[in-house]
């Protein structure tokens, strides 16, 4: 089992392609490759299965193909599936005393 956390963060395009191909090759060898990433478009190119967790709860565990059949993009799937489990209320700029 290999676990990668944001493996392509900060890489140039050649490095991103190399990392993507490495992870896919390892998976084809039968290894379990777990990738944690906020780069949804990169996961659309890389992942076979997509697990989404929000506020410590499992929101989705399905194939990328299943999500592609139900949503226009993986980003759209993520945004719709997590709509009730995220809190984006901005507190900026903060007022004095907060």
- Is 34 found in the same domain as 1? yes
* pLDDT (0 to 100) of residue 66: 95
**91 in a domain, yes or no?**
no
- Is 41 found in the same domain as 1? yes
Split into its structural domains, the chain has a count of 2
Are the beta carbons of 43 and 73 closer than 8 angstroms? no
CA–CA separation, 69 vs 34, rounded Å?
Answer: 23
**65 in a domain, yes or no?**
yes
Buried b / exposed e along 70-87 (16+ C-beta atoms within 10 A): eeeebeebbeebeeeeee
The tens-digit pLDDT sequence of the chain (98 residues) is 999 999 999 999 999 999 999 999 999 999 999 999 988 888 888 899 999 988 888 999 999 999 999 999 999 999 999 887 766 555 556 556 55
* pLDDT (0 to 100) of residue 93: 60
Q: Of the candidates 30, 29, 39, which has an alpha carbon nearest to the alpha carbon of residue 4?
A: 39
CA–CA separation, 82 vs 66, rounded Å?
Answer: 17
- Is 53 found in the same domain as 26? no
Residues in a beta bridge with 50: 62
Question: What is the reported pTM?
Answer: 0.73
> What is the helix (H) or strand (E) element at residue 67, kind and residue range?
helix 64-70
**4 in a domain, yes or no?**
yes
* pLDDT (0 to 100) of residue 55: 81
């Amino acid at each position: 089992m290999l676990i990668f956390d944001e493996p392509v963060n900060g890489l140039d395009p050649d490095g991103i392609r190399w990392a993507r191909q490495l992870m896919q090759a390892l998976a084809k060898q039968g290894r379990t490759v777990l990738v944690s990433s906020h780069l949804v478009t990169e996961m659309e190119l890389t992942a076979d299965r997509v697990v989404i967790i929000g506020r410590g709860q499992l929101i989705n565990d399905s194939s990328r193909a299943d999500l592609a059949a139900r949503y226009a993009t993986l980003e759209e799937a993520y945004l719709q599936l997590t709509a009730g489990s995220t809190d984006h209320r901005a507190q900026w700029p903060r007022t004095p005393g907060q």
